[in-house]
Chain A
Amino acid sequence: MSMTVTRRTFLKRAAASGIAAASIMTGARKVLAESKSTGKYAMLHDLNKCDGCEHQDTPECVLACRIKNETNYPQPQHPIKNYWPQPKHEDWSEKRHITDRLTPYNWTYVQRLEVEWQGKKIKVNVPRKCMHCDNPPCSTLCPFGVNDKTAEGPVVINPKGCFGGAKCRDVCPWHIPQRQGGVGLYLEVAPDLAGGGVMYKCDMCHDLIKQGQQPACVTACPRDAIKFGLQHEMRQYARNWAQENQGYVYGDVENGGTANFYISKIPFEAINAAIIEQDLDGKTGRINMAVNIENPLDEPGTMLSGFVMAPIAGILAAGISTYHIMKGGADDEDQTP
């Protein structure tokens, strides 16, 4: 009887200490998040200003991005093998000219839309690129640890370490990174069996940011529709603008928070409906703008208490086992029955 009481008490204490430990860690996370965010940068796209450079084929931001990243684009070895046993591979090297979707050779594009809202059809242009999430699943779940959420805010793929499995594209809520085959580390390891190239996407011009400059698309925009600054300032600007103008913000809460904000007088639900109808074609590189996307990694975070409980339960269970053995229980080893 006393044993039962002891066990029960122990379980209660174990549960209490588990919860305490979990809450301490949660507190630590908040402090960490706040202290680190001060040096982080973000972009803000004002859709009320962006006209998609409507009088030219390719918008200025897209052109600037392509010029800036010309030397970063893949130079694949041909012929590119299929991803055995799949009868396919991804090769954009002959389609470098494409500017109206995300490809390994085009890291930003503008969705030129006609959005139906309040009974009217309104032209809306949405410059799209990596959202540089606060807790990016693409980076966190990279099996080789070569996709980095940098201290400055941009999420940057290391092309030298990337194997091109395209997991980052699968776990990204917008499926943003794009793959080019015939390039990268996998060619040196087992090109027939594993890997598929290198993943490419916007890096927010990380090199320029570190030099104290702005991303190329920000500088190039003729209508001052793309702003750049500290993340908390951009966030505050977006929220204030939305409140004062009865407008909407995208990128603030999506996927748990991002470093790429959009502000608009038209709700993003309506914009996304237009994207689904006019832009998406079922192939990679055309991306949605779904509202309130939840971060798939938030849920495993709640499993934290399980990791705190596991060792406590281990000690408790061992205590029970050895208690029986020490008392010379019938189940002891090294005995004849």
Chain B
Amino acid sequence: MKIKRHNLAIRFTHWVTATSIFILFFSGFGQMPVYKRYFVDQLPGLAWSSDFLATLHLHYLAAMALIFVSVYYVTYLIVSKRWDIIPRRGDFKESLQIFASMVGLAEEPENDKYLAEQRLAFEVTAFSVMALIVTGIFKVYKNLPGVEFSSGAVFWLAQIHNLFTVILLFSIIVHLAAFFIKANRPLVISMFTGYIDKGYVERRHAVWWAKLNQEQDRSEAEVLSAE
């Protein structure tokens, strides 16, 4: 039997975010003069990559997609009140326990729908995306004809945008590296199909499993009382 872990809204958010961030990284790095120097524009189909205006346009378009999906997701969270991914008290300690369990130094704690370290990693990623969007919007505004910011503002906007790019890149590398761990791999499929094995949930997400059963009992009780 399978359990639905990610509905369409979440999978949509995840993949639009992933795609737009990938394009933003590629076009953003293209804002530095590296693709010509390193012959990336010599690769088939990538001749445009060293054209700063082409990559700037692409960066703007992907930024619109990221802003769209970020607002979509925040609105979704607020309306649906699903806070499973939001960090809780004790998550830092619990994350250390998870890491210790990976090398056999501790038992893995009983997990909810998301692991403590997933909740913390989410916060780092989400904060970076937010910082990039905010500084990015100011940078777009600054580029408009007739708009001038002070040299200090221009400098710090660029530095903060670049810094969070590095932090986001690092957090995504860690996110992808997590799939080197075999225990995490069923989660990859669930981000495509939405479903995950019941056995996996029972084994690794005992807290979530208990909640699911509670809900099941409640809805069955509701059915009974209605009858």
Contacts and interface: CB of A to CB of B under 8 A. Distances in A.
Interface of A: 25, 29-30, 32-33, 36, 83, 85-86, 134-135, 139-146, 148-151, 158, 161, 165-167, 170-171, 194, 256, 295-301, 303-304, 306-307, 309-311, 313-315, 317-319, 321-322, 325-326, 331-337
B3 interface: yes
Contacts of A146: 155
Nearest to B51: A170
Given A310-B67, A334-B212, A336-B3, A296 B146 contact: no
Nearest to B11: A331
A301 B145 CA distance: 8
Contact of B146 (A33, A321, A322, A336): A33
B2 A337 contact: yes
Interface residues of B, number: 66
B7 A325 contact: yes
B7 A143 contact: no
A149 B6 contact: no
A315 B146 contact: no
Q: Which of A86, A149, A165, A333 has the most CB of B within 10 A?
A: A333
14 contacts: A85-B38, A145-B154, A165-B32, A167-B32, A167-B52, A307-B60, A310-B64, A310-B68, A314-B67, A318-B75, A322-B9, A322-B75, A326-B80, A336-B2
A175 B26 CA distance: 25
Contacts of A165: 32-34
Interface in B54-73: 56-57, 60-61, 63-65, 67-73
Contacts of B34: 165, 194
A158 B151 CA distance: 10
A321 B1 CA distance: 26
Contacts of B212: 334
A213 B112 CA distance: 70
Interface string B203-216: 00000100110011
